[in-house]
Each structure stands twice: as structure tokens, then as C-alpha cells.
Structure 1
């Protein structure tokens, strides 16, 4: 899962990818130059998206394992 942090520059806020130290982009839009409240809300959205992706990956892996087990029966 990707880790994000908030960063302030000239009284505007950005969401930064901790690994790259670059502003995060969502659908091609840089998540920078936001108010503090906007940045906090977008951070929650990003974390929610990551949680869904993680759950989806785990569910797909489980389905593959289950499918293999059923093939063996």
C-alpha cells in the first residue's frame, strides 16, 4: 500500500507520495495547491481507494486459489 503525507508550501497543501516525495496524481490531476481541508479530504479518498485495491487483490488471489482447489477435486 502506498503511503501518503501532507506537505505545506506557501500556505497551500499537497499530498505527497512518501516513497517518491512527489505530489500524488489522481486521474492525471496533481493533488497540490489545495486548502488544508481539501487536502485532508483527498487524503481520506486516496486511502479509501488504496483499501479497495488491496481488498480486491486479496479477493482475486483467494478466488484463484479456490479455483485451483476445485479443479483438483
Structure 2
């Protein structure tokens, strides 16, 4: 399941964090009031960053048990 999704608000798009149901933020900037294309790109980027973070923590934990 993806952490970030889209929601239309007043004809523009907001990237929503599924864990909080609030607009996602990147470097303290809300991902809101974007065109559809911009919002889709941001959803892809944020979901990829989330996957990378998850996998790096998983590999880190695995490395600790091997040491």
C-alpha cells in the first residue's frame, strides 16, 4: 500500500499522507494546490522516498543481527 495519495480540493490537487490524512510536506512545504501532473509526480517521488526509507531500515536491522 502506498503512503501518499491525491485529493482534489477547489479544482487543484493535494498530496495526502495516509498516516495522518493531512497534506504531505517536503522540507516544510505543503504539497497542496498543484496541477494534476505536478501532484502525480510528487506522489511518485514521496512514495519512492518512503520505500527507500523503509528498505534501508530493514537492511540496517538485518545487518545488526548478522554482526
Larger Rg: 1
Number of matched pairs = 67
Partner of 1:48: 48
Match of 1:33, SS? coil
| 1:1-73 correspondence to structure 2 within 5 Å | 3-67=3-67
C-alpha contact 1:2 1:17 (8 A) present in aligned 2: no
C-alpha contact 1:13 1:35 (8 A) present in aligned 2: yes
Using the TM superposition, give the Cα deviation of residue 17 of structure 1 relative to its aligned residue in structure 2, in angstroms: 1.5
Structure 1 unaligned segments of length 5 or more: list them: 68-73
Superposition CA RMSD, Å:
1.5
Structure 2 unaligned segments of length 5 or more: list them: none
Stretches of 4+ aligned residues off by more than 6 angstroms: none
Structure with a larger share of its residues in helix: 1
Show CA shifts across 1:28-50 (max 9, x none): 01000000000000000001101
Scaled by the length of structure 2, the TM-score of the pair is: 0.90
